Amino acid sequence: MKYSKYRQAASRTDMALLLDEIDASSKDQDLVKELKKDILAVRNNICNAFLIVFAIVLIPAFFASLSRIPQIGWQPVMALHTVLVIITCLMALLRQHISYVYKAGYIILLFSLIGVSGLIQFGLIAGSIVFIVFSGAISTLLFGGRIGAIILMVNIICLIVVAYLTVSGQIGPNFDLNDYNAALSSWLTLIIGTFLLSGALISSIFIFNKSLIKAMQVSRQHEIDLKQHKKNLENIVEERTRDLKRSNADLERCAQVIAHDLKSPLNSISGHAQILSAFHDDVPERMKKYLKDIVDRSIDMSEIIDEVFRQTKINKEQVYLLDQDLNKILDKVKKQLVYEIEKSNCIITSDKLPVLKVSEIQFVRLFQNLISNAIKYRSPDRRLLIHISSECKEGRCIISVRDNAMGIEEEQQTLVFSMYHQAHQTDDVADGVGLGLASCKNIVDQHDGEIWLESVQGEGSVFYIAIKQ
């Protein structure tokens, strides 16, 4: 809607003249349309500015001319000036409702009429010759180089007519001035000078217009290319997202197959091994040891399969954040790990923990992994002590899980939260797959929190979890 009146105005004129600087053979029609719209908008603003300036300047000039009527009398030129002032003021006031073509055509006419009428009234000493010189340049600016050249030729013809009438004595100023010279040579000099100067201005503005439009064309092309590039990127992102969803779905199905198809034979192997080991009299002691190893390794393998399956599901779980008492969550974890705690002779203590908006299921798993990790990698030289505490300030709670286990080497501390990374790979500790701490990090990330650790090898570790209060 904003540019509709400009397009309507352009449709009533020769667009080839109005936009002769644009390459009409361009294959990108959208670019041409946008460029035409921009040029029309700029030229319309120029017209509005000229109308306002003319209205401001012509009114005091008109009153100054009226004050000289007692000396020079009322002349036809004065009537012309009166009409021009009235029309200019009206067009300035109604500029938003007037077609661009009418405004631009009137401005060019105004330049020419002021210049010619000044020459008729004051002859060679008229300063209005400046308007004649600039009328061609303004025409080039508003309509293009061809219209500018036409206006220049019309002005030169008008100058020749005025010169002929003045030299022949048919017209002339009605006051005597000693420096007034109506000689033909003076008029020829004025005409030639006007032609050369106006022609130079028209050429300069024509070149400027072409450079400006070329720059606008490049800018518009860059904008179109950027939009197309953005659209292509969005399509690529959508395609990659679909591929990622398919990949995640395949991964989940694969995990389900692993959980079902591998655990079933493992359970069968473990069951048969337990049955065989029950025959105390018929099974040698060495065989019983092998059967126990089979059962233990089957249990370990089953736990690894369960952890891999949980890892594939953790990022797909819907997180419901509700107010949860971390003290109750910790008590639930202790009950679930009672066998491991009693077997390792571990002591778990805690301060009073806060109530936070968290997922109960995921925080149970978080504490399980951290405590199980400490139990798995406990030091053989001392009793395992685990202490959980918290500190809340400035809208954030930091929960710490401190242990006196084996600790982690400094170069390993930045890697322990990576999937399938194990900080300890010795025969002295239990086997694992390296998913426990990676699972902890995923859980904390889903709560928009942070997790980090401080550890000294041989002394123990402290895991910190920062959650918004």
* Distance in angstroms (rounded) separating the CA atoms of residues 18 and 42: 13
Residue 298 burial (C-beta neighbours within 10 Å; 0-12, 13-18, 19+): buried
Nearest to 324 by CA among 294, 367, 284: 367
* Distance in angstroms (rounded) separating the CA atoms of residues 115 and 372: 97
Give me the pLDDT at residue 174, please.
55
β-strands 347-350, 460-468: how paired?
Answer: unpaired
* Distance in angstroms (rounded) separating the CA atoms of residues 157 and 151: 10
Give residue-wise pLDDT tens across range 370-381.
998 899 888 888
Instruction: Name the least confident of 34-48, 163-177, 389-403.
Output: 163-177
Give me the pLDDT at residue 384, please.
93
Give me the pLDDT at residue 308, please.
64
Catalogue the E-assigned strands of 50-182.
Answer: none
Averaged pLDDT, 136-165? 86
The domains located in the chain, with CATH, are 4-232 (no CATH), 319-468 (3.30.565.10)
- H-helix or E-strand spanning residue 396: strand 396-403
Q: Give Cα separations from 275 to 169, 278, 301 (angstroms).
A: 138, 5, 19
For residue 446, pLDDT over 80 is answered with yes
Averaged pLDDT, 309-322? 63
Beta bridge partners of residue 390, listed in sequence order: 399
Q: Which of 32-36, 271-275, 397-401, 412-416 has the highest mean pLDDT?
A: 397-401
Averaged pLDDT, 353-364? 89
Give me the pLDDT at residue 400, please.
94
Beta bridge partners of residue 391, listed in sequence order: 398
Give me the pLDDT at residue 304, please.
65
* Distance in angstroms (rounded) separating the CA atoms of residues 32 and 109: 30
Give residue-wise pLDDT tens across range 248-280.
777 777 766 666 666 677 777 777 777 766 665
Please report, rounded to a whole number, the percentage of residues in the chain having pLDDT higher than 90.
12
Instruction: Name the least confident of 3-12, 39-48, 114-123, 218-227.
Output: 3-12
For residue 130, pLDDT over 50 is answered with yes
Name residue, tokens 């900080």.
423
Q: How is residue 84 written in tokens? A: 């021009």
Q: Is the pTM of this model over 0.75?
A: no
User: Average per-residue pLDDT in the chain?
Assistant: 77
* Distance in angstroms (rounded) separating the CA atoms of residues 183 and 185: 5
Instruction: Name the least confident of 10-19, 63-72, 135-144.
Output: 10-19
Residues in the chain, total? 469
For residue 292, pLDDT over 80 is answered with no
pLDDT band at 434 (very low <50, low <70, confident <90, very high): low
DSSP codes of every residue in 185-216? HHHHHHHHHHHHHHHHHHHHHHHHHHHHHHHH
pLDDT band at 9 (very low <50, low <70, confident <90, very high): very low
